[in-house]
Structure 1
Amino acid sequence: ALGRAQDGRIGVEAFGHRAVVRCTNGGSPQSAINICVRAGDLALDDHAADALAGRIKRLIYQGGHFRADVALDASPDHCLTLNLAEPTPLNVGDAIRVALRDGWLVPHEG
């Protein structure tokens, strides 16, 4: 975590990408964190200097949008899932850049 929680939000860094996510107030910064991210919390972003780079592993049509599973270049074992509007010009294997728009800091137990 980057800094202290304020107004239920805290700055985080994940694989070189900085974002602000929701959290409980009063928590102290930690070097290793877990964040919960949903498909709707992610967005394509070719303009962010620190966007998460990856490649589309799978595209699934979901009726009105596509679900894209993306393997991160910085950590290929980590896969993100995001929603893409229909129609999408993207295909499996395409390189994309993803920004984290929201999420939750998962508190450490103990």
Structure 2
Amino acid sequence: MKIGDELAPRLEIEAKAFGHVPSKWIEALLRRRVLQQPTMSRPDELAFIAVQVELRRIGVHLHHILNQIEASAPATNPAHLAELTAHADEIRLHLARLRAAFAGNLAYWEVPS
């Protein structure tokens, strides 16, 4: 398949902006249109991986905190509960970032009306 002179420069720009070579960008476009499987750009993919790592790290911390709360007397230690609340807020923040990354990715592949 050959891309004409009119499309080639724009294809190069779009692919580069997405962090792909043109052939990979075309493949991603086809995946979205034909298979309904959006492809993430490399920076978004790395961000997604980083969010998963952070959420796992936070989950481990929460597990340790819960164990400490269960072992402590009284069980309603305000310092531990404040720490738990802070971690819950951090999880919410990371989940919001993850949703924003997915929404941005999906919007990228949509055809403007």
- TM-score (normalizing by structure 2): 0.24
Q: Structure 1 or 2: larger helix share?
A: 2
Q: Higher strand share goes to which structure?
A: 1
Q: TM-score, normalised by structure 1?
A: 0.25
Choose between structure 1 and 2 for higher RCO, CA contacts under 8 A separated by at least 6 residues.
1
